[in-house]
Amino acid sequence: MYYNQSEADMQYPSVLDFVLGDVTGDGIPDKIYLTGVRTQSSPYILDITLVIQDGRTSLQISVPLEENAGYNPKLSLWDFTGDGIKDIFIGIDSGGSGGIIFYYIYSFVHNVVRRMFDFQIFNEQYQYSVAYKDNYKVHVIGKYKSERTSPLQLPTPADDICIAEENNKEYILDISNKGNDYLNEIYDENGMLKEPIEGFVDPLSGMYPVDFDSNKVYELLSFQKIAGRYHADGLGYVQNILKWCGNKFVLDSQYVAILGADKKE
């Protein structure tokens, strides 16, 4: 999305969000900010930047974000790696009709900035095909792609070996409860497709830190909307659970959640 500002509309950078916590690992709380340029005529924010102030030395470092404009930027601190040091979790609403959200996760251990998660890399790797089939079925199939490694990822310990799932599962959705008006546009009286129809799965539209193991180490629960003939034709969500493994987040498990229908009497 592009927003054109006049000089009269331009504002100086301001603090958009703030958290306090130890992200360097020295036991002293650090100050973490999101700053950006607000505008008088729109809630759209430009030049969103991560700023970290070391609690021990008061030195600051600014980290520009690749996607640095949007709405409602938020940050929070969680331990994703299990080292007992908080990592920085950032979310920015894109404002588009698809509800797409920009997510980044950064580490700042020993005052070294490393990007642990980038939503664009996730969207490249977690893609799917969606195809309507006869007898009121829709097939959703993950498209496995080799990983694009971020140059800022953490180094991998030599003895850290992970078993990860691959995004190549197949799911069969039953859409027979979508209603006669909907189904009659797509299927004949015998339940056969009138013509080939393909749907799609959105990019990342929600991601939440969750401690599934209750061990104070957080995983990521992500959501991607499954759509049919058009975006408002929601069929469900692909849910991926990612966990930190050595130098990156890997797929731990994957599910599809479908939308229910009113119970028939």
Look at residue 41 in the predicted model and tell me its pLDDT. 83
Helical (H) or strand (E) element with 244: strand 234-245
Q: Decide if pLDDT at 54 tops 80.
A: yes
Look at residue 159 in the predicted model and tell me its pLDDT. 44
Look at residue 260 in the predicted model and tell me its pLDDT. 80
The rounded distance, in Å, linking the Cα atoms of 103 and 105 is 7
Across-strand partners of 91?
Answer: 74, 103
Question: What are the pLDDT digits (tens) for 105-123?
Answer: 999 999 999 999 999 999 9
Mean pLDDT of 169-198: 95
Looking at every residue in the chain, the average pLDDT score rounds to: 89
Ordered DSSP codes for 37-99:
EEESS-S-BEEEEEEEE-TTT--EEEEE-SS--BEEEEEEEE-SSSSS--EEEEEEE--STT-
Helical (H) or strand (E) element with 200: strand 198-201
3 state DSSP class of 122:
helix
The rounded distance, in Å, linking the Cα atoms of 108 and 22 is 9
Helical (H) or strand (E) element with 186: helix 180-186
Q: Which pair of structure tokens corresponds to residue 2? A: 């592009």
Least confident of 58-67, 72-81, 141-150: 141-150
Q: Decide if pLDDT at 264 tops 80.
A: no
